[in-house]
Structure 1
Amino acid sequence: MDTVAHAAEHQYFSDFGAALRYWRGKRGISQLRLALDAGISQRHLSFLETGRAQPGRELILKLGLVLDIPLRQRNAMLLAAGFAPAYRERSLSDPELGAVMQALDFMLAQQAPYPALVVDRLWNLVMANEPAANMMRLFLGMPSHAPIPRDGSVNVLKLILDPNGLRQYLVNWEDVCTDLLQWVQREAMGDGPGSEATALLDELMALPGIALAASQPNLERRALPFLPVTLKKDDIALNLFTTITTLGTPHDVTVHELRLESFFPADDSSRRWFQAQAEKGPKPA
C-alpha cells in the first residue's frame, strides 16, 4: 500500500496547527506542560498552534510521542506540515508482517477451547480461532463448515448490534452496546469528521434501538470487575467476559491498530460447554 497516498486520503485536519490544538485539548494538557515535556518554549508552541511557526519533522514526532497520538494520526500531522509519513501501513499478507501473524496465530491457538478473534481498529474481522468460528456459526444458524471470512469484509460490531445478527441472542445487548460504541467513538474523535470511523459510528447509531440504548446507561449494573456477555439460544446459555490485547511498541500503522479479543467463561456451566465442544472435535464435512 502507498502509505503517502493512503495517509493523504485520510487527513482530516486542514493544517498542522489545528491538529496540534485538537490533540492537546483531547489530552487535557496545557501549553506550558506540553512545551516542557517536548523541550520547547511555550511561545514556540503557541506559534505552532496558530501557524505563525512551522515545525520540523523531529519535533512533530516528539509531540506525537508526548501526546500519545495514534500512529495513523501522526502520519496525518506530518502530511499537514509538508512531510512524508513516518509509519508504514501494510497488508497483513506482507511478508514483513509474517512474524506478527505467527505470533497472533499462536495466541489464537493457545486460547482454545475458548473463542478469540483479531480485529482492526474499526472491528473488521481479520483472524479467528476455530472456537470463535464455531460460536458464530452456531448463533448465526450457519452450516457447521461454512467459511468465516477473515479478510476484513465482516464487521464484528455490525454483526453483534444488528437486530438480525447476534443481538437477538444477546441477553444484555443494551449494556454491551454502550461499551462497544465507546471503542468506535474513540476512533471517530481521533479521526475527525468525514472519517471511516465517523461513518461506521453513524451507521451503528442508525440501527434500531442503538441510539436509545447508548443514551441510557444501566446504572443498576452489577458491580462486576468485567462486562458480562450473556448469549442464549434454545437450550444453550453462555456467560462470558472478554479481554482486549494490543501489540506493544509497534512501528507500523497496521500492527498498531490490531486488537486481539479473547473470550473467557464467566461460570462453570459455560466452561464445561466449551470443553465439551472441544472434545467432540471437528465434524466430518
Structure 2
Amino acid sequence: MDTRFQTAVASIGELLRGWRERRALSQLALALQAGVSSRHLSFVETGRAQPGRDLILRLAEELDIPLRERNALLVSAGFAPVFEAGAFDDPAFDGIRAIVDLTLARHKPFPAYLIDRHWNIVRSNAAVPALYEGVDAALLRPPINVIRLVLHPGGLAPRVLNLGTWRLHYVAMLRRQIQMTADPQLEHLLREVLAYPGPTDSGHEPLAGPAVPLIIQTRLGRLSFISATTVFGSAADVTLEEVALELLHPADAFTESAVLRAS
C-alpha cells in the first residue's frame, strides 16, 4: 500500500504531552496531581507504555481538557468515547431547552441569546431589533456569529462607540478559548477578527466602573448594555458543556427606558 500521502496521526502519548505543555505543567507536576509516577507518565508520553482508560480520564481531568477532546483522547487510544454529544434539539435536552427558553422570554425586551463554542447563536429572544438595523444581511443569516456581528465592518462595528475596547475584549477571549481547547475553528475566527479594519487599542476610551458596557448608537439613542454570561455547571454532555447564555442588561437609566418604550 502506498503510504506517501497518508497524514500522520498523533499517538495518545503525543496528544497528552501536547495538552500538558499547553497547560505549562512539568511531567512531575502532572504526575503528582494525577497520583501516578513521573516515570510511568514519561513512558506514556513516549509510547513505551499504553495508558488505560481510567488513567486517560484522570490525566484529562487534571489537565482540564474539554469533554470533546477527552473523547478524542480515548478514541486515539482505542477506547470508545464516554461523553455524549447530542444535538441541542434532541429530546434528551427537553428540560434544558425549557430552562433556556424561559430565561430568554423573561429577559425581554432586553437581548438574550444562547451561543455555542464558536460564538454562533443557537437560540435568541430577538429583542431590540433597532440594534441590528443597517447590518449586512449576510451577517444575519444563521448561524449568526456574535463576535463577527459586533466587530465586522458590515455589522455593528460602525455604531459601537467603544469598539476598541470590545475588539480587545473579544480577541483576549478567543485567545483564552484557543489556549483551553486548541479549536482550529476558533483560531480561524481569531485570524479573521484580527484582519478587520478598525481600532486596535482602547487607549482613547477611558474605563469606568467594574464592568465594560457595550455602547452602541441606534435610532433609539445611545444604548449601553452590560453582558452577563451563564454556563451550565457539572455538564456531562459535550454539547451542554459548550453552550452559554448571554444576557444583555441595561447599563443606565436611559437605555432601560428607551428599550421599554420601544417594546
What's the TM-score once normalised by structure 1's chain length?
0.80
| SS at structure 2 position matched to 1:130 | coil
| SS at structure 1 position matched to 2:127 | helix
Deviations 1:158-201 (A, max 9, x none): 111111111111011111011112232233334447x2222222
CA contact 1:188–1:198 (8 Å) conserved in 2: yes
Q: Which amino acid aligns with 1:165?
A: G
Gapped regions of structure 1 (runs ≥ 5)? 1-11, 143-147, 279-285
Corresponding position: 1:169 with 2:169: no
Corresponding position: 1:140 with 2:135: yes
- The alpha-carbon deviation at position 112 of structure 1 amounts to 2.3
Corresponding position: 1:242 with 2:227: yes
Rounded to whole Å, the distance in 2 between the matches of 1:98 and 1:252 is 14
RMSD over aligned Cα, in angstroms?
2.4
| SS at structure 2 position matched to 1:131 | coil
Residue 47 and residue 72 in structure 1: after superposition, are their counterparts in 2 closer, same or farther (change >3 A)? same
Trace 1:217-236 onto structure 2 (pairs within 5 A): 218=203, 221-234=206-219, 236=221
Which residue in the other structure is 2:54 paired with? 58
Counting aligned pairs with the same residue, the percent is 37
| SS at structure 2 position matched to 1:232 | strand
Q: Which amino acid aligns with 2:237?
A: D
Q: Which amino acid aligns with 1:263?
A: L
Corresponding position: 1:198 with 2:187: yes
Which residue in the other structure is 2:4 paired with? none
Of 73-82 and 219-228, more deviation after overlay is shown by 219-228
Corresponding position: 1:77 with 2:66: no
Rounded to whole Å, the distance in 2 between the matches of 1:254 and 1:205 is 28
- The alpha-carbon deviation at position 235 of structure 1 amounts to 5.4
Which residue in the other structure is 1:208 paired with? 197
Q: How many residue pairs get matched? A: 254
CA contact 1:139–1:233 (8 Å) conserved in 2: no
Aligned to 1:110, which of 99, 106, 113? 106
What's the TM-score once normalised by structure 2's chain length?
0.86
Rounded to whole Å, the distance in 2 between the matches of 1:237 and 1:139 is 16
| SS at structure 2 position matched to 1:231 | strand
CA contact 1:73–1:190 (8 Å) conserved in 2: no
Residue 135 and residue 35 in structure 1: after superposition, are their counterparts in 2 closer, same or farther (change >3 A)? farther
Residue 277 and residue 234 in structure 1: after superposition, are their counterparts in 2 closer, same or farther (change >3 A)? closer
Aligned to 1:91, which of 84, 87, 94? 87
Q: Which amino acid aligns with 1:196?
A: Q
